[in-house]
Structure 1
Amino acid sequence: MNDMDKDEGQEQPIVSFQVITDMHITGDSQHAHNQNVRAVLQDITTTDPNSDALIMLGDNTDSGREEEYREFERIFRAYEAVLPATYFIQGNHDVRWGDWTLHAERFKTYTKMTSHYYDVWIKGIHFIFLGTERGLKDYSYLSKSQLQWLEEKLEEDQSGDKPVFVFHHQPLKNTVAGANESYHENNFWYGVRQDRELKQLLAKHPRAIMFSGHTHWELGSKDTMVETPYATLFHTGAASYLWSEEHGHRSGSQGYFVEVYKDKVLVRGRDFLSSSWLAAAQFEVSLTMPREVDQAHQEPDLTISHPSFVLDKEMYKVGESIQATYSGSVWKDWIGIFPAGVKLGKSVSALAVLRPCDFGQPDGHLLFEDIWLPSGEYEAIYVGEAEYRTENDHLELERVKFKIVEG
């Protein structure tokens, strides 16, 4: 008898599935991360052999390299006969600091996923998977097309009596464990460039339950689960290693077993290495009662939004200062001036560079002064979080054309 068996006559779940995150598989088969993932799969297939799905929230690999994906394939192939349908999305470690096209192709080849974002229905329950569309260092980037797609998908859920599950690697700002500035200022890893837009979309759909990873905070930490005005949010721990407020990095492997019933959703935290339930991470989400919104999250933080910028003019005289007004800036974003039509890459240098972090974030103004460029056509380009390391990192956020003319 496995841990998920029900007594005869006891209500059976409509759907049962597992959610794990941050495997960080390396090319070394004996690495602790890889061994932990094997323990995860062994525990899941033993504990719930009738599971309907296994969902992985990104950072499948440590850096997106081919040898890591080959090891990923070996690990999962050993369990493919007993695993349920398995779904993956990309995390920042899967896409950053490398050729975006190669990383995307590897992800699709080895996971058998056909898109960065997609949805499935399992036994009448809607599962929506969101994925980054840029190779950013820490954050995810959701295009306007993806957000429009999400809105349309959420509109499909009109029954009013079933949950809709949303999965994304990075958490929303000032929500779940590890994503809060207020109580651990040096360790906050929220990370959606369209944070405001995603919150506002979810707010229209009170049945939304969102799972995220990225921060590695151990289950049972403050804000492992929070009720917000826009969704019920869960932090998912990590399969590779954990982070605690008291000790920082520590060994461990945790995730969730989820059961959906007619009137509730049970979310059960699991320690995979000891094959035991985590008493501090056992949750029940009612599908019949209104959400009791945590007062700390009553007013959502909407300070991070889709990154954009404008210039104060379309035409400048030689030697004239150029002012940019930007929004949604984080970390080491930068705005550079380039000849018109340039394709960004490691070998391309900007004619001038300024960083919003030196002027104010997330929104503000910056001024290019004392730059003497000859007359011609140029573009100011907003770049996300890092310098280019290849010719195709795919870090560009937005570009604006302008001209310089003789006085």
Structure 2
Amino acid sequence: MKKITLATVLTGAFLAFAPDLQPAHAELPLQVVLNGQHVQFDAQPEIVNNRTMVPIRAIAESMGAKVSLSGSNFFTVEKGDKRIRLTFDSTEAYVNGSRVTLPVPAYVKNNRTYVPVRFIGETFQASVGFVPPTNTVEIRTSADDRTLRFPVVSDIHVQASDPVSQSKFRAALQDLYNVDPAADVMVLNGDLGNGKPADYDTLRSLVANNPHPVTMLYNIGNHEFYNAWFNAKGVYAPNTFPNGESESMAINRYLKLSGESKVYYDKWIKGYHFIFLGAEKSRQSDRSIGDDAWLSQEQLNWLKVKLSENHKAGQPVFVFLHQPLPKTVTGSFWQSADRGVVQSEQLKAILSQNPDVLYFSGHTHGALNSPRTMVQDGFTMFNSSAEVGPDDSAPSASEGLYVEVHPDKVIVRGRDFAHGVWVPQAQFTLPLKK
């Protein structure tokens, strides 16, 4: 065996784990994230026998551990009252003198010492998991008290015929991956495209071929009904609206993408309630609706029940509707009918019964640096901005929100995807009252 020097060991790093999981994006390099921060390695992590192996020093030091060589063929990793002793090319290791068996032995490659991370991470009381869609190993210690993390992005307007919309969404996914490759879920809050089958196919392809959270949740917007503006040849034809298109056809295409049975549905993610509301009618059946959200009484009654379902005071409830309530967040002060919810008074009265509601909307394309990105009136409302389209005054803009839930607070941060920076005017902390 090649002689190992102390310098060789200390220029390495630690490991992570991926038992029996094949990366969903093999083209993405293996990433290791500790408490939400990327761990920087000087040698690429790799998978051996379904275990992620990485060089040892970077992770050990990131976790506050100390690595030292003991003799010529074994080394120790120490932190607090834990002391690990590992031998090169052996599955035998010791924790505080007690013998344990490693799934893969420590080994040397290109003057870097590789070890299996789950063993070391869990020995130091960290949780270790693998996120297949982003090929990421996530390590969390007690210092990371976040219980839920997710981005909210609205108005992506992905169209098969528009490469700009595709590149902007691709860039947004990459930027969110850079921010947090192990987010729990991603919400796309309406106006996914123009409701065309080809638009949905393009969106599916973009998600499949770019990094994204394990769980993707979709909402319906007004543009999901816009296939009615185009004739059978795909040409914009307002004079023959609705061009043989029905509301049910539009809704069914959206439901096929979302995998849901109705435009309104709910999910529980890591113990938190996500409630999705959606338009059930459009201007195709009633021209007065315009681009507003039309919610049936059945949907509103369902919402009342869901808001109280397993709810504990002080626990946030996340509610999503593409359209904002009128005269609330940025962009909702328009007098026209296409900037709100038809049943807005009923909806606001229902949501106001639960002060723990966080209501997210898009639709207006309002910039996150505006003063009314967050509004509190009985409950809390957020404008999630948009990946602003070429018809807007800022065609290159692309923004959204990133949400972190802690035991005592919710942090909502505005993100500029186009420049890969946080929006300073959109940084909000909401204390949770138990």
The reply to whether residue 92 of structure 1 matches residue 222 of structure 2 is yes
Size of the aligned set, in residue pairs, is: 278
Instruction: Tell me which residue corresponds to 1:101.
Output: 248
TM-score scaled to structure 2, two decimals?
A: 0.60
Does residue 160 (structure 1) correspond to residue 289 (structure 2)? The answer is no
CA RMSD of aligned residues (A): 2.3
Shift of residue 66, structure 1, vs aligned partner: 1.4
Q: Which residue of 1 aligns with 2:330?
A: 177
1:66 to 190, 197, 210: 197
1-structure distance, mates of 2:373, 2:395 = 17
> Aligned with 1:270: secondary structure?
strand
Counterpart for residue 282 of structure 2: 135
2:157 aligned to which of 19, 24, 34: 24
Offset from partner CA, 1:24-48 (integer Å, 9 cap, x none): 1112252x11111111111122321
Aligned to 1:211: 360
Partner of 1:123: 270
Q: Could you say what secondary structure the match of 2:341 adopts?
A: coil
Deviations 1:86-126 (A, max 9, x none): 00111001014342122112112233333201001111111
Deviation at 1:243, TM superposition (A): 9.2
Identical residues among aligned pairs (%): 35
Q: Report whether the alignment pairs 1:45 with 2:177.
A: yes
Work out whether residues 398 and 416 of structure 2, in 8 Å CA contact, stay in contact via their aligned partners in 1: yes
Q: Which has more radius of gyration?
A: 2
- Partner of 1:39, secondary structure, is helix
Given candidates 385, 400, 423, the residue that maps to 1:278 is: 423
Q: Deviations over 1:214-271 (max 9, x none)?
A: 0001101121101112x10000010243998xxx444211001100011110001101
Q: Which 10-residue stretch deviates more, 40-49 or 163-172? A: 40-49
Runs (5+) with no aligned partner, structure 2: 1-31, 39-61, 64-141, 229-244, 284-289
Identify the residue that residue 308 of structure 1 maps to in structure 2.
none
Aligned counterparts of 2:387 and 2:261: Cα–Cα separation in 1: 24
CA shift for structure 1 position 18: 0.7
Task: Indicate whether 1:251 and 2:396 are aligned.
Answer: yes
Partner of 1:351: none
The answer to whether the Cα contact below 8 Å between 2:330 and 2:370 also exists between their aligned partners in 1 is: yes
Question: Are residues 1:223 and 2:372 paired?
Answer: yes
| SS class of match (1:283) | strand
Task: State the 1:149 CA deviation.
Answer: 0.4
1:56 to 175, 179, 188: 188
Higher RCO (CA-CA < 8 Å; seq separation 6+): 1
2:368 and 2:360 map into 1 onto residues whose CA distance is 13
Q: Which has the higher helix share?
A: 2
- CA deviation profile, 1:265-313 (whole Å, cap 9, x unmatched): 0001101121111111111111128xxxxxxxxxxxxxxxxxxxxxxxx
Instruction: Report the counterpart of residue 146 of structure 2 in structure 1.
Output: 13
CA contact (8 A) 2:152 2:187 kept: yes
Partner Cα distance (2:274, 2:427) in 1: 21
Q: Is the 8 A contact 2:191 2:221 kept in 1?
A: yes
SS in 2 for 1:226: strand
Matched, 1:190 2:190: no
User: What is the SS of the residue equivalent to 2:152?
Assistant: strand
CA offsets, 1:163-187, max 9 Å, x none? 1010000000100000025xxx68x
Change (3 A) 1:189 1:157: farther
The answer for the alignment partner of 1:35 in structure 2 is 167
Match of 1:338 in 2: none
Task: Give the equivalent residue in structure 2 for 1:382.
Answer: none
Structure 2 CA distance for aligned equivalents of residues 255 and 15 of structure 1: 17
Task: Point out 4+ residue stretches in structure 1 off by more than 4 angstroms.
Answer: 6-9
**Aligned mates of 1:120, 1:70 — CA distance in 2:** 24
8 Å Cα contact 2:362/2:386 also seen in 1 = yes
